[in-house]
Amino acid sequence: MSYSALRAGGVPYGSPGAAWRDRGLCAVGGDQIRVAMIHGPAPADLDGVSDYVERLMHALGDVGVATASVPVRGDGSTAGWLTATLRAAREVWRLRPDVVHVQFAPSAYRFSGLPGLLPPLLPPYAPLVTTLHEYGWWAAPTWVPDAVWRPLERARLWDRETGRLVPASRAVVVTNGGHARQVGLRTRGRPIEVPLAPNVADHGGPAPDGLGPERTGEVLAFFGFVHPVKGIRYLLEAVARLRAGRPSLRLLVIGGFTSQALPEAEAGAFRAELEALAEGLGVADAVTFTGHLPAAAVSEALHAADVGVLPFTGGVTAKSGALLTMLAHGLPTAITVPDEPGPSALDGAVAVIPARRDAAAIAGALERLLDDAALRRRLAGAGRRVSAGHSWSGVAAAHRELYDSLVGSAYGRRHA
């Protein structure tokens, strides 16, 4: 399928209604809106954005939005990503959606800039929405200086990270204030902020076998994909410091190593490195690397913990689904913060680790939490209140409102 044919709509549609039903979706009709959801190829258990997309699509079904998954499956080569981008555009034309929604993170497309060419390939009658899951730190190509990007972004001709996606979108969605500010600075536009929701529901129940069957000591918990930027090296060093005075202390590292950002071979090497570090620090018997767990087992493991800890090397914000999950479980949690955190809904709901990449700072924050039951209760209550404002039903309702505002009377004419 050629570029010109796509723009001209030269795509064999077949029956659009049947195309949606073939995906196991409810029949289109009534006041439903149809959204083609374009996203990266990784499965949900290997990628946080894919997990978000899966949960969002499920939640949208409860508010009258029928969704179709349109993955962009590149093979790592330039030709492969170009073919994947063209194929995704062709599928959108075939589906005849009311709205096209692109979920964007550079890691989701293995840092290929080619999905940024999608907008001119898409049907012009369907408003384009782009959600930015990562923003403000990347460019494609990386060697172009800022002075070249700035006028292009201000004129809404090109965006250094998303190509034509941000400039051509009728609406840009962000999950946090930091990304909103960055988009505003670059484009003078006003993105729509729709905060994340916890990525694991509270299932309650006891800890699963092997994750804390003996409540003879205190338990710390880390949750999320395990990656070098998550600060686990420093956390292991902090555990070694704490164990000197708390010999029964344990750490659960809950989450898989293999991810879109850390392929299998690199993930295996990183896990071996951390296990060797734990052995060298003399805490191997106190640390459990669970690997990827089903949602119910994650919930049970979090309930087995006394204190949560997220010592990310870049800091943690409310855009972390892992943090929201820990707060939703009433787990008092210590986090590192970004260089310029600014006002945050997390104020008073988390304990702050005063320095990043610093085992002593992590150990000090955790010791204060472990020693102060009243502080733990206060943080647990505040964390639950914060997480209560982050629900998938709320995320879905905000998206439905956005889609309604974009489709408007054109939607009514199409479905009359």
**pLDDT tens string 198-256:** 989 888 765 555 554 455 689 999 999 999 999 999 999 999 999 999 999 999 999 99
Q: Contacts from 240-247 at CB under 8 Å and sequence distance 24+?
A: 240/281, 240/282, 240/283, 240/359, 241/359, 241/360, 241/363, 242/363, 242/366, 242/367, 242/370, 243/282, 243/283, 243/286, 246/217, 246/218, 246/370, 247/217
The model's confidence at residue 345, banded by pLDDT at 50, 70 and 90, is: confident
Q: Taking a C-beta distance cutoff of 8 angstroms, is the pair 40, 153 a contact? A: no
**Residue 253 in 3-state DSSP?**
strand
Q: Which has more pLDDT, 242 or 340?
A: 242
Could you read off the pLDDT of 347-396 as tens digits, one per residue? 899 999 999 999 999 999 999 999 999 999 999 999 999 999 899 999 99
Q: Tally helices (H) and strands (E) across the chain.
A: 14, 12
Rounded percentage of the chain residues whose pLDDT exceeds 70: 87
Torsion angle defined by CA atoms of residues 404, 407, 412 and 416, in that order, rounded to the nearest 10 degrees: -110
The neighbouring-strand residues paired with 69 are: 37
CATH of domain 3-195+392-411: 3.40.50.2000
- CATH 3.40.50.2000 placement within the chain: 3-195+392-411, 219-388
Instruction: Write down the pTM of the prediction.
Output: 0.84
Average the pLDDT over 176-191 and give the result: 92
Q: What is the pLDDT of residue 311?
A: 98
Provide the token pair at 314.
């870049």
Distance in angstroms (rounded) separating the CA atoms of residues 343 and 334: 17
Q: Radius of gyration (Cα) for the chain, nearest Å? A: 23
Q: What is the pLDDT of residue 208?
A: 52
Q: Which has more pLDDT, 309 or 12?
A: 309
Q: Which has more pLDDT, 17 or 32?
A: 32
pLDDT at 14 over 50: no
Average of per-residue pLDDT values in the chain: 88
The model's confidence at residue 20, banded by pLDDT at 50, 70 and 90, is: low
Q: What superfamily in CATH does domain 219-388 come from?
A: Glycogen Phosphorylase B; (3.40.50.2000)
Average the pLDDT over 154-169 and give the result: 96
Region of 205 please: left (phi>0), alpha (psi -120 to 50) or beta: left
